[in-house]
Chains A and B, each alone.
Chain A
Amino acid sequence: MSTPPLTSTDAAPAAPVDLADLTPLAASSTTTDPKRTGFHHHHVALAPSLPELARVFTSAGYFLEMLTCEDRRLITPALPKMRLVQTWNRFDGPADRHLVTCELDPGQVAPSITAVAPAADWYEREVFDMYGVRFAGHPDLRRILLPDDSDFHALLKDFGQMDRGSEEGT
C-alpha cells in the first residue's frame, strides 16, 4: 500500500493550522470551549470539500484522530440526515482538536479521504460497516468488524434496540 506524500516536513514542530486555510472550505467555522466540549474548533463542511479539508490538516502536521458517523435520521424525520464526524489533532504542543462534521442525505456517497489520510482507511470501512455510508474512492470498502455476509448495519438507530424489547433484529 503506497503512502501519499505529505507536504509538510515532519521534523518541524507543528504550528496551529491556519484557520484562514480552513474557513473557505467550511460552510461555517466556530471556536468552542475545549474545557467544556473537548473541541477547540468546529467546522461544518459540505461533503465535496472533505478531501481538501483533510489535505489542509495533514499539510499543517495534524493527524486524523477519529472518524465516525451519527445516524440522525430519526432526530429530524422531516430532514433525515447522516452526520460524518472527524476530529483532527496534533502531536506537538497543547492539544488543538478540530471537529469536522458533514451532513449527508441517506444514501449519499461521501468522498473518501484515505488518499490524504491513510488512517481513514479503517475508519471509513467501519462507518460503512456500522452505518452503510459509502465512500467514493476508498481503495477497498468492505466490512471490517461484522461478518462479511451480514445483511445489516449495526449502529443504525432502527436496528436492534437491544434492551428495549424490540423483536426485530435482536
Chain B
Amino acid sequence: MSDEPRGASSDPEADPTHPEAYVLNMGPQHPSMHGVLRLKLHMIGEEIVVAEPVIGYAHRAHEKMAENRNYLMFLPNSSRIDYLSGMIYNIGYCQAVEKLLEIEVPERAQYIRVIACELNRIASHLLWIGTYVLDIGGVTPFLYCWDDREQILDLLDAITGSRLTYSYGRFGGVTMDVDDAFLTGTRTFLERMKSRLPEYDTLVRKNVIFIERSRGVGIMDRQTCRAYGVTGPCLRAAGVAYDVRKSEPYGIYDRFDFAVPTESAGDCLARYDVRIREIEESLKIVTQAVRDLPAGPIMPDKPKKKFKPAEGASYFAVEAARGAFGMYLVSDGSEVPFKLKLRTPSFSNLSSMPKVLAGTMVADTIAIVGSLDIVLPEIDR
C-alpha cells in the first residue's frame, strides 16, 4: 500500500508534506474502534490533515456466498451482516425475496415482524448510547443501557432462540409464533423503557462533560451527507427527514403512527438526540403493533418449497438502525441468486469520514467516529 496521503486540505498550514507532518495509526486493535476499523491519520501537531479509513478486516465475502447458495441458504448470513440489528436485515432479506416471488405474508406475521424489528432497533440504539458514552469517558450509562438492552435480548431470545443472529424470518412469515409470555414481557418492557428515558436524560444529556465533548463536534451538514450517501440517524441529525419506512413504506409500516425525528445541528450531540427520540418512536410503533396484533397463521397455508424468481433485477430497501439498507438482487431464473449487492448504511456513512475528520483535533476522533454508530462487519460484509 502506498503511504502517500490522499487528497489535500485547502488550508496551506495543513500540508501533508509539511516537515512536521507525521502519521498516527489508530486501530484495528483499539478499544474504541468498534471492531476492526483502522484509521491512518496524517497529522501536524494534534490536527488531522488527512484521515484515511482502512477497512476490510472483517470481510467474510457475504456477496460471494450469496452467489453460491440458494435463496433459503442465505438466511443465516442475513442477520450476520450487521449483528447489532440482525433482525432488520434478516426480515429485510425475506421481504426482498417475497417481493420477487410475490409471496403473501399473513397479517399476524407482519405484526410480529414489526415488533421484532423495532425491539431490535431499540436494542441497537441502546448499545450505541452505552458504548458511545463509554468511549468518551462515561462508564455508568453503559451499565444502564446494557441492563435495558438485556431485556430485549431475552424477549427476542424467547421467540427466536438466539440473542443476536436471529434468522427468525422465513419467506412468507416467521419461524415461531409469539405467546402471551412474550407479549406480557414486551408490554412490561415498554413501560420500563418509557420510565428509563428521563433517567438517561438526567444521566447523559445533562452531563456537562458529555455535552462539551459532543456539541459542535464532527459536524456533517446536509450537503456532505448527500455527497457521500449518508443515511440513518446521521442524516436525520443534519435536518433531513429521510427514512425508508416513510419514503417507500415496506411491510406494514404505513399503518403505524410515528414521526421521523430530526435535529438541525448535525453534530455528535444531535446524533445522540435523534437516536434517543427514535427509541421513543420505536416504542410507539411496538405499542401499536402489540395492541393491534391479530390472531391467525404466521406462515402461508401452503409455503413454497422452491424459490426460483423470474429473471431480472430488483432493489429492496429497509430502514436499518444505521440507515438505509438496500439489496440489489439479480436473478437468472435459477435457484441461486446471480448477484446480491448489499448496500449497507455504515459503508457510506464511514466513507464521509475523510471529509469530516480533516481539520479536526485528534482528541475528537473517537467522539466523531463513534457518533456514526458504525458496525464494521456490516461495512466489510
Residues of chain A having any CB pair with chain B under 8 Å = 1-3, 6, 10-11, 34, 36-39, 58, 61, 63-66, 68, 70, 75, 85, 87, 91-95, 97, 99, 117-119, 121-122, 130, 139-140, 142-148, 154-155, 157, 160-164
Contacts and interface: CB of A to CB of B under 8 A. Distances in A.
B324 A146 contact: no
A148 B55 CA distance: 11
B304 to A, nearest CB: 18
Given A38-B316, A139-B6, A162 B65 contact: yes
A119 B63 contact: no
B250 to A, nearest CB: 10
Given A38-B315, A65-B326, A139-B6, A6 B227 contact: yes
Contacts of B6: 1, 139-140
B248 A34 contact: yes
Contact of A148 (B1, B59, B244): B1
A121 B315 contact: no
Contacts of B343: 65-66, 87
Interface stretch (B109-117, B165-173, B287-295, B346-354): B346-354
Contacts of B332: 75
Given A10-B222, A37-B312, A119-B351, A65 B324 contact: yes
Contacts of B223: 3, 6, 10
On chain B, which size bracket covers the interface?
A: 35 or more
A11 B239 CA distance: 10
Interface in B178-210: none
A113 B355 CA distance: 17
A97 B314 CA distance: 11
B219 interface: no
Given A37-B315, A119-B351, A145 B381 contact: yes
Contacts of A92: 240, 242
20 contacts: A1-B6, A1-B50, A1-B355, A3-B227, A10-B222, A37-B312, A38-B314, A38-B315, A66-B326, A85-B313, A87-B328, A91-B247, A92-B240, A94-B247, A117-B227, A118-B227, A122-B348, A143-B56, A144-B56, A147-B56
A119 B315 contact: no
Interface in B333-368: 338-339, 341, 343, 347-348, 351-352, 354-355, 358
B129 to A, nearest CB: 25
Given A1-B358, A95-B244, 15 more contacts: A36-B99, A38-B316, A66-B343, A85-B313, A91-B226, A91-B240, A91-B242, A99-B313, A118-B227, A118-B228, A118-B351, A122-B348, A143-B56, A162-B65, A162-B68
Contacts of A99: 313, 315
B235 A160 contact: no
Contact of A94 (B229, B248, B316, B328): B248
Nearest to B324: A65
A66 B344 CA distance: 9
Contacts of A61: 226
Nearest to B332: A75
B338 A163 contact: no
A142 B257 CA distance: 46
Contacts of B358: 1
Interface string B68-81: 11000000000000
A2 B10 contact: yes
B315 A160 contact: no
Which 9 A/B pairs are nearest by Cβ-Cβ distance? A1-B7, A38-B315, A95-B248, A145-B56, A119-B229, A91-B242, A66-B343, A68-B341, A122-B351
B313 to A, nearest CB: 7
Nearest to B58: A145
A163 B65 CA distance: 8
- Which residue, B10, B59, B341, has most C-beta atoms of chain A within 10 A? B341
Nearest to A35: B99
Interface in B263-279: none
Contact of B56 (A63, A65, A146): A146
B64 interface: yes
Contact of A38 (B7, B69, B317, B338): B317
Contacts of A130: 63
Interface in B203-242: 221-229, 235, 240, 242
B64 A154 contact: yes
